[in-house]
Amino acid sequence: MVDVPETGSTAPATKSADRLGGAMMRYRVMAYIVGTALVILVFVAIPLQYWGHHKIVAEIVAPIHGYLYIVYLVAGADLARRAHWHLGRILFVVCGGFVPFLAFFVERWITRRMTADRAADAAAAAATLEPATLDVADR
């Protein structure tokens, strides 16, 4: 048998994996930030506003959460575009920004799914990159 070297390059696959990893990291950071801001808003600022009659906390935290939620949506849309998500997964991410504590669960679920998908893609790519062998009798 004679080994035939592979002429294809793995650079584009590696570059797209790096882009997906960067988008994933941006999404994860924003999920934690928005989830924390929402928990502070719902469980600290709103009770202080209605029961403690201190509106200042809600007036500060609510706009901050609103702007951060927009950045979270952009990060989620970027990841969804790069990973070719279906509508259900996108809606799940959108809900994570306005349901308390859901952002943490969605982030963990998305991370596990994306890690599994990337591992499966890497295994498939490794299987196709193995050098082809030709039998001397086949020539």
132 pLDDT band, cuts 50/70/90, is low
Locate 135 and state its tokens: 């039998």
Q: Give the pair of three-digit tokens for residue 13.
A: 């696959």
SS3 labels along 7-45: CCCCHHHHHHHHHHHHHHHHHHHHHHHHHHHHHHHHHHH
- How many residues are there in the chain? 139
Question: Which residues make beta-bridge pairs with 134?
Answer: 2
Q: Measured between alpha carbons, how far is 133 from 1 in angstroms, rounded to an integer? A: 6
In this predicted model, what pLDDT tens digit does every residue of 31-89 receive, in sequence order? 999 999 999 999 999 999 999 999 999 999 999 999 999 999 999 999 999 999 999 99
Per-residue pLDDT reduced to its tens digit, 80-112: 999 999 999 999 999 999 999 999 999 999 999
The whole-angstrom separation of Cα 94 and Cα 112 is 18
pTM of the model: 0.77
Bridge-partner residues for 132, per DSSP?
4
Q: What are the structure tokens assigned to 126, written together?
A: 């490794």
Strand partners, 2: 134
Q: Which tokens go with 117?
A: 């998908």
